[in-house]
Structure 1
Amino acid sequence: MDTTTTFIFIIGAPRSGTTWLHKMISEHPEVSTFNGSNTFLQGYIFPLIEKYKHEKKEFTERGFTRGLPSKITQKQLNSLIIEYIRIFYQFIPENKQYYVEKATDLTSELNSIKYFIPNSKFIHIVRDGRNAVLSEVKIHKKYEIGIDNILLGAKKWVSQILDVREYQSKHNQDIIEIKYEDLFQNTNLYLTRIFDFLGVSNETGLVTKISEKYNYKRNMVSMPTNNRLSFSDGLFNTYKKEMNYFELTLFEYLASDILKDFGYEVDNKRISFISNRLIKYVVIPYFNTKYFLKILAKKIKIKLSNIS
């Protein structure tokens, strides 16, 4: 593995500004990137590791010899993976000391990334989970990708934040955390802080040039789900307008502590007004049933189309 290149991974929940931040950092003259390279670790390397774990269990518990565990050890597999990673990233230009990659859904794999790529750093961008999940649900309606309901989105958002916190507790010097709203309100200031953390040049003229080119108020870069004019002084209140009462209560019930930790507004009266039992036994089952019926309807539609 190349020890001269610093690998930068931009992590965060979907619809949290990872694409926007990736474009700005990759614009820096000291930084290189591969378009679409995030599929390598996410689509090939980590699924291979999970498959090995599953086959290892089958081999150990049931004696199944099909698969890699009956042929090579975990250590040998890791050596193969390190070689795959070396080959994939060998095309990083020699004159670039830094490489950046968007790793949106890899928050649960930070320890593995650090193991296979020791000279890596992480930038965690956090957006108010209510807006992030709402945006993802809206994207699903248009493109049928990602999360399609608030319950699953809230659980995933909380899980990903906790994954990062677990990593931070052990490797705090390798990670910086930036709020999407802060970056939006004062791009120059927070981009400078990020460049300081990475160790790249942070000259005022360069930072201003990059932030102006990717000014999100004028030039949205990643499948926008809101009109740029709907933002009020950088404070994003879309969820207040577009989430219904039960959706908002459910999200805050599941994520209120984390939302508060990041300084996001939470309506304690709304959560306390509806008892925990009501949320647990009425609201959550309602969303689970709604999700089940949606999946069932989709399967029926597919079968009917096949018949016709």
Structure 2
Amino acid sequence: MNLANISILTRGSNYKKWRREIGLLLTLNDFDVALDTPKPILTDQCTRAEKADAERWVRANKVALSILESAMTDTVRGGIKKHELAVDYLNAIEKKFKESQKVEISQYMAMLTTYKIEGTGSIRDHIMKMIDAAKKLNTLDVNIGEKQLVFMILQALPSKYSQLKVSYNTKDKSWDIDELITQCVQEETRQHQERGKDVEIVNFVQGGKGKKFNNAGNNSSKNFKCSKPYDKIGTFANNLKPKIKNVAKLKCFFCKTRGHLRKDCELFKDYLIANGKEIVNVCEESFDQWE
């Protein structure tokens, strides 16, 4: 093993690996004597063997200092006070990076405990960010177990994944990280497919603006005319609001749950807010189904 195989010490994220490699290099080349034994003091009464050992220690100390300086970036080297003894220099480096590790740990822990996955981007990419933070904490001696990480990721999921959370909490079997990613990706795909259907129906209704549509699933001859857009999310123009006698029989078009209209669906509102969309020219009765 030589200096070319040693990782270059950067801002601290690779300190532990660097320290192990430095220690191995010094040991293999018998330079660790400068770290393990104090500096010899020569006197007139010293024997030839003692003088030889002192010369070997001086050389080991000089080489060790050179190796330590060469295995750091200029930025790191400039921030650490130089020492005459390799052991003192190594202790100064260790002290410097123990302090920076505390900052790193705080940053990664804050990410895992407060991170909230937004509606943009791939769900897999968001989860991989949290997994990476957990791995870095483990290298800093802050152990995050897989089961604990699964709960942290579930906590970070947006409200549109609430059905997946309920499914996990009601099952006896726990998921590992790979299974959690699979479940989230499947749910993401399902939601994309539902949105595609939603857009097709909205486009169909908008294309027929001003026409009359029969109430889906209802044998009644009563028709509703969609002539005005929503005033805002989930709000009808007053002249379009249908009269509902039995809400319990109603089935939401968006989440397929009975007991409410799509305009009152919390999952649908979260979807609109996350995507910055408003539904226009839509007659709610043409979407929600009566049993």
Higher relative contact order (CA 8 A, sep 6+): 1
**Do they fold alike, i.e. is TM over 0.5?**
no
- Identify the structure with the greater strand proportion: 1
TM (norm. structure 1) is 0.23
| Structure of greater Rg | 2
Give the number of the structure whose residues are more often helix, by fraction.
1
What TM-score, normalized to structure 2?
0.24
